[in-house]
Structure 1
Amino acid sequence: MRDQDFKAQLLPLLECAMEEYPHISRLRSIADSDAETFAKCEPGFGALGNALLKVEELSTFRQGNLQYLANSATSTSMWDLAYWLIELATLTQNPEAALEDLFTYTETQKITVHHVQPLAGVFPEGPQEPQNFPNGVILRQADGIPNIRLARRLTQERVGLPMPICCYALTKEHRYTAPQLDGETIKNDHVLGSLIDTRQSAQHLEDAALCLSLSTDVKNGVFGICRTFVPDLHTPFAASLVSWELLPSAQPASGFPLGQPEITEGIRLTALLDRLPGADAARIRVPMRHLNLFGAHLSSVEKALHLRVALETTFLDKDNRTELNDRVGLRAAIVVGTGLEERISIKKTIKDAYNAASTAVHQGIMEEKNFKKLPPAAEICQKALWGFLEHDGLPKDKDWFQIETEGFAPRQHRG
């Protein structure tokens, strides 16, 4: 049980140590014991550390408490624990709550971490509060990430970050039970579970970004430059350095605002994508990725290439015959158009853009007059993807035969 008297004794020591933050030396000798290290530290820090050494509930930290951070691990010593406690109390200006977080962790052994993907070049326009997606992803303003150290680095310090300014971030929370010792060996099921969850978590973050992109102007894509895992502010962790997973380099053609209507539509599209079976979801992500890249800060030739791939993967399925532009244009007209004149216009728009993109890809240059043909075709592709998400994913061969002979109509959902 928690010793309330001892907790009351820790509070004034913590408040004293807070006055030394952030000037506490982060250098320490690995060879030294915690007691030897605390004897060499600043007086307030040392006094708090020695008091923590006497708390029986914290005994696992005396030899280093091994904790998994989803895709890596760290050993948190008593020195690390004392520094985390001081930092948390200082950043939140609430030493009582910091002590409460510490003892809650010792009782539950729960580790909370966040998978974070900052979004490049997207600016807030409207909502300040976090926005929840149906696949568990949360869209937050960057200064609201549940790890104050990372939030400050993204929005204030920005030292050593491999990314442009990021005002929004996608996050996903994961909770783990601290690994248990089986004799001298740590059970591996916690590690395996974390690795599987990491891959699925990354896909959920990408899905949210792609659906946000599908809800905005096709001229600007939504991109995460990198991803990382960080411990929750309230979880005692030694990890102070952030290990970034760099994503394929891309950023929007220009900065643009993201308002509540686009976010609401992105959430709706994410629910539709999340409902699809695995193979169908994987198929439709291909044109979604390339349409998103049409809105990247790339050369006009590269944009043309991505649009061509987006059109082919949206409107073709195992169809490699000649006259692809005619087939793509016809199918786009049937799916998106609502009347004969509109369908004739759509078919011409798609064919003109497809031919311009093909010429640019083969010649390596794109004239301005030809590039102007691409955005209208991208908007048509975007509308078609909306419809396919609502109607059970991309059509297959037999579906296209029915569409071409009977017209486009919702197919039966698979459940």
Structure 2
Amino acid sequence: MADWSLLVPLVAEAANEEVSTVLWMPYEELRDQASTSLRNLLIAIESMPELALFGVGQIQWIGSNPHQTSPLELAAWLVDISKRPAPYNAEFAVKALSRYVEEGVAAVHHVRPLAEVEYAGEPFTFSTGVVFSRSGGVPNGRLAYKLSRSNGAMLPDSPTVMYTSHRHDVFHTAADAEPDSMVDLKQSASVIDDAILCLSLVTPVKRGVFGMSLTCVCDDAVPCRERWEYWQRMPIAEPILPFEVGTDSLVDADNLVRPFSSMGEPERASIKIAIRHLNDFGAKSSLVARAINLRVAVESFFMDENEKGEITHKISTRAAWHLEQDPKRRAEMRTTFKKVYGATSTAIHTGTIREETFDALVEVAERLQNALREAILRGSLPDWSKVELGL
């Protein structure tokens, strides 16, 4: 049985070295010419049967995704982890290595930075497992942000993010690798997206909440983690101005996440389209683009899938009866929705919109945001045939 504790002082001693993983000469020559502390660590790694999977040229698979390893790669990882601020140190690195070898499991994180969202609280976990956090609380966040930046996402040094975590088996031969064992990135992206959209329903409607590129990275505690990575470009948008999110807003959003994810189709699809376009109403874009997004959101909520004709009349009537109780306010609401729908029609057909009508668009957006929250908590869209009859 391996005595992992023997590695701890060797890692601590080698932590004074800068370890390059560029093999510009045969590994054996590089090892023999290395400093005493690094050479001792490499020899110890080679001598442990449990670490044979880190031999030169060995390949490991996380799911169906391979990454090549070597004693030098492993030594570099041990040294890097031991140099980091607490709780990281040589003991932490060796313990993580032993767990990885003995359990054969790797933690993987799907990380999505948010555009221009500020947060000063502790990490918040949604009921669906999505974590909302400042960058310092994200496992292997440095690699995730490096990937996002390398693919065109403009990020601050410490962005706010949402991420999910998963555990996957590690394999050592291609025959054992399991293509279907990985959590589908699309599924993970959808769970994060739901949390983002629900958060957009409890923050100012004029400030959208937008996720950026989705990156998939191994945890800090996975050896040679930087050899295994994945990213997926997502549509990039940002709010008109940066804004701060508080814990109360996160709690309110979480109250929506579970019922939203549990809604049946096609209602969930209609509501998701409405939320997404309402969120895009708060993007940094032209007034015309924002007006068109609001129109799509309004139609998605107030119209059934196969309805045609008399759209302005149906939407304004349904909005009046659904959103107001007082007869006078109903009449005013009907007029407001007609005005906004006319303005969005002009935006679509002429590419223009008058700035003086924008206050009316904001009012409609705010009322729609509230109606969407109520529909999610109720678990269904209104029965518009009854609404039109005042029932």
Once the 2 structures are TM-superposed, how far is the Cα of residue 240 of structure 1 from its aligned partner?
A: 5.2
Which residue in 2 is equivalent to 1:162?
A: 153
1:218-249 C-alpha deviation (Å, 9 max, x unpaired): 00111111110111111213425854322112
Using the aligned pairs only, state the percent identity: 32
Secondary structure of the 2:384 match is helix
* Structure 1: distance between partners of 2:192 and 2:139: 16
For residue 103 of structure 2, what is the amino acid of its counterpart?
Answer: T
User: Could you tell me which of 161, 176, 193 is aligned with 2:168?
Assistant: 176
The answer on 1:299 being equivalent to 2:294 is no
Which residue in 2 is equivalent to 1:185?
A: 175
The answer on 1:289 being equivalent to 2:276 is yes
Once the 2 structures are TM-superposed, how far is the Cα of residue 76 of structure 1 from its aligned partner?
A: 2.6
Which residue in 1 is equivalent to 2:43?
A: 50
The answer on 1:339 being equivalent to 2:339 is no
* Structure 2: distance between partners of 1:363 and 1:321: 23
Q: 1:154 to 1:318 in 2, by over 3 A?
A: closer
* Structure 2: distance between partners of 1:197 and 1:379: 35
The answer on 1:394 being equivalent to 2:381 is yes
For residue 135 of structure 1, what is the amino acid of its counterpart?
Answer: T
For residue 224 of structure 1, what is the amino acid of its counterpart?
Answer: G
User: Could you tell me which of 13, 18, 24 is aligned with 1:16?
Assistant: 13
Q: Which moved more, 1:85-94 or 1:200-209?
A: 85-94
Secondary structure of the 1:66 match is strand
The answer on 1:76 being equivalent to 2:63 is no
The answer on 1:274 being equivalent to 2:261 is yes
1:142-291 map, 5 Å: 142-147=135-140, 149-150=142-143, 162-165=153-156, 167-179=159-171, 181=173, 185-188=175-178, 191-194=179-182, 197-239=184-226, 243-291=230-278
The answer on 1:64 being equivalent to 2:58 is yes
Secondary structure of the 2:181 match is helix
1:291-341 C-alpha deviation (Å, 9 max, x unpaired): 010001111100011000000001001354333122112112222223222
Contact 1:61 1:76 in 2 (8 A): yes
The answer on 1:107 being equivalent to 2:102 is yes
Q: Which moved more, 1:260-269 or 1:289-298?
A: 260-269
* Structure 1: distance between partners of 2:316 and 2:96: 60
Contact 2:21 2:73 in 1 (8 A): no
Once the 2 structures are TM-superposed, how far is the Cα of residue 281 of structure 1 from its aligned partner?
A: 2.4
- What TM-score, normalized to structure 2? 0.91
* Structure 2: distance between partners of 1:187 and 1:234: 21
For residue 230 of structure 1, what is the amino acid of its counterpart?
Answer: V
The number of equivalent residue pairs is: 387
Q: What is the root-mean-square deviation in Å for CA atoms of aligned residues?
A: 2.4
Q: 1:42 to 1:148 in 2, by over 3 A?
A: farther
- What TM-score, normalized to structure 1? 0.86
* Structure 1: distance between partners of 2:257 and 2:52: 45
Q: 1:390 to 1:75 in 2, by over 3 A?
A: same
Which residue in 2 is equivalent to 1:130?
A: 123
Once the 2 structures are TM-superposed, how far is the Cα of residue 65 of structure 1 from its aligned partner?
A: 3.8
Provide structure 2 residue ranges, at least 5 long, that are not aligned to the other structure: none
1:15-48 C-alpha deviation (Å, 9 max, x unpaired): 121111xx3223114x83x444423444433321
* Structure 2: distance between partners of 1:283 and 1:39: 65
Q: 1:263 to 1:42 in 2, by over 3 A?
A: same
Q: 1:16 to 1:311 in 2, by over 3 A?
A: same
* Structure 2: distance between partners of 1:123 and 1:382: 22
Once the 2 structures are TM-superposed, how far is the Cα of residue 111 of structure 1 from its aligned partner?
A: 0.6
Which residue in 2 is equivalent to 1:413?
A: none
* Structure 1: distance between partners of 2:5 and 2:307: 75
Q: 1:80 to 1:388 in 2, by over 3 A?
A: same
* Structure 1: distance between partners of 2:38 and 2:111: 31
Which residue in 2 is equivalent to 1:410?
A: none
Once the 2 structures are TM-superposed, how far is the Cα of residue 94 of structure 1 from its aligned partner?
A: 1.5
Contact 1:13 1:47 in 2 (8 A): yes
* Structure 2: distance between partners of 1:250 and 1:152: 17
Contact 1:120 1:225 in 2 (8 A): yes
1:184-217 C-alpha deviation (Å, 9 max, x unpaired): 62343xx2131x5322111001000000011111
Once the 2 structures are TM-superposed, how far is the Cα of residue 153 of structure 1 from its aligned partner?
A: 5.4
For residue 193 of structure 1, what is the amino acid of its counterpart?
Answer: S
* Structure 2: distance between partners of 1:84 and 1:300: 50
Q: 1:273 to 1:348 in 2, by over 3 A?
A: same
The answer on 1:405 being equivalent to 2:386 is no
